[in-house]
Amino acid sequence: MCRGSYCYLTDDEWERRIARFAAIARSCTLCPRNCHVDRFSGERGYCNAPGELVVSSVFPHHGEEPPLSGTGGSGTVFFTYCTLQCCFCQNWQISHEAEGRPFTPGELAEKMLELQEQGCHNINLVTATHFLPWLLRALQVAAKKGLFIPLIYNCGGYEHASTIALLSGIIDIYLPDMKYGGNRAAQLFSRTANYRSFNRTSLREMFRQVGALTIDNDGVARRGLCLRHLVLPNNLAESEAILDFLTSAFDPADIYISLMAQYRPLYRAAEFPEINRRVTAQEYESVKKAFIDAGFPGFFQEFDGLDESFLIDFTARKEKALTPRSAPGSRNASPPDLSSKGRPESTASLSPNGEEVR
Ligand code: SF4
């Protein structure tokens, strides 16, 4: 039986990590936006996340990369809000429009245990950086109650390497994006002028911790790095620059690539003519060929026959996936105020020393 690395953390070490993340969230620099808001007193930064967990959906996902979904599914937890908020986000209902409801760490722990009981191969934490102090408490509780399957950290790749370093020995599989090879498109579509450098340094830290993706005899990933890249129209992701970086920084044989052709001009993409269309077969196939020729293993989506089954309607799904303890979607239904440093309506559920205080 493969046990996640977090199973070997002592209580003292869990408490130390939770306290470190709580201190960071007191003047929030969990991500490179560095908002310096006090998340524990209800202030909100760029991501608009409050001082408690908010979750949109929890379910066994059968549409992730084959080594992650396997036969039992990837036990996926979609966290509400996002530190990037790309204008073309396919999960815009949760990243931009705050679909979801508050969870206590104890509730989330129970949900993760249910996913394990349902036969999921892993727990897939999607876009969790802005909730790390509260998430670690949930993981600690779940581990004490018997959670053991590997943890996936599924993120947009806009991370502080120091934040990732604090997850060492907790996360088994990193699943970051490399969205942009340059900063122009990052600024235009994700409002971050420094994506590339943070993306690259955090990627190095992830690889340092877990190394190349290891897949067991059943075809299921156990540990390592799986890197996602979504090809954009008009080469706006600058895929060649990403390829150049990866070949210079790593042995290509060590980097499992998930190359995606599924871009759709969703949410507010229509406001940008250059991304207001799908990628063409030619655009996608040339990037795919370059990665394969360079020797990268991985999962390369087929362009032909790609339907839209990867799109998730989070508003419809939540009724099935969550058991509300309060009116679903009743909080934070308005789009984020990016200029605001916070609206003092949140109730903190974790004290600075990491104790649950609800
Ligand atoms: S965007 Fe959110 S997680 Fe990132 S620093 Fe600002 S408040 Fe913290």
CATH architecture of 5-20+53-321: Alpha-Beta Barrel (3.20)
Higher pLDDT, 117 or 96: 117
Q: Distance, CA 129 to ligand 1 centroid (Å)? A: 8
Residue nearest to atom 3 of ligand 1 (CA): 130
Q: Distance, CA 27 to ligand 1 centroid (Å)? A: 9
29 lines ligand 1 (CB under 6 A): yes
Which ligand 1 atom lies nearest to the CA of residue 28? 8
Q: What is the mean pLDDT of the chain?
A: 88
- pLDDT of 197 > 90? The answer is yes
Strand ranges (E), the chain: 53-61, 74-79, 101-103, 123-126, 151-155, 173-176, 214-215, 221-230, 256-260, 298-300
198 lines ligand 1 (CB under 6 A): no
24 lines ligand 1 (CB under 6 A): no
* Of 191-205, 221-235, 250-264, 338-352, the least confident: 338-352
- Residues 258, 179: Cα–Cα separation, whole Å: 12
Q: Quote the pTM value.
A: 0.88
191 lines ligand 1 (CB under 6 A): no
Question: How confident is the model at residue 356, as a pLDDT?
Answer: 41
- pLDDT of 23 > 90? The answer is yes
Which ligand 1 atom lies nearest to the CA of residue 49? 2
Residue nearest to atom 8 of ligand 1 (CA): 28
Q: pLDDT tens digits, residue range 309-325?
A: 666 766 666 545 454 33
Most distant CA pair in the chain: distance in Å?
A: 55
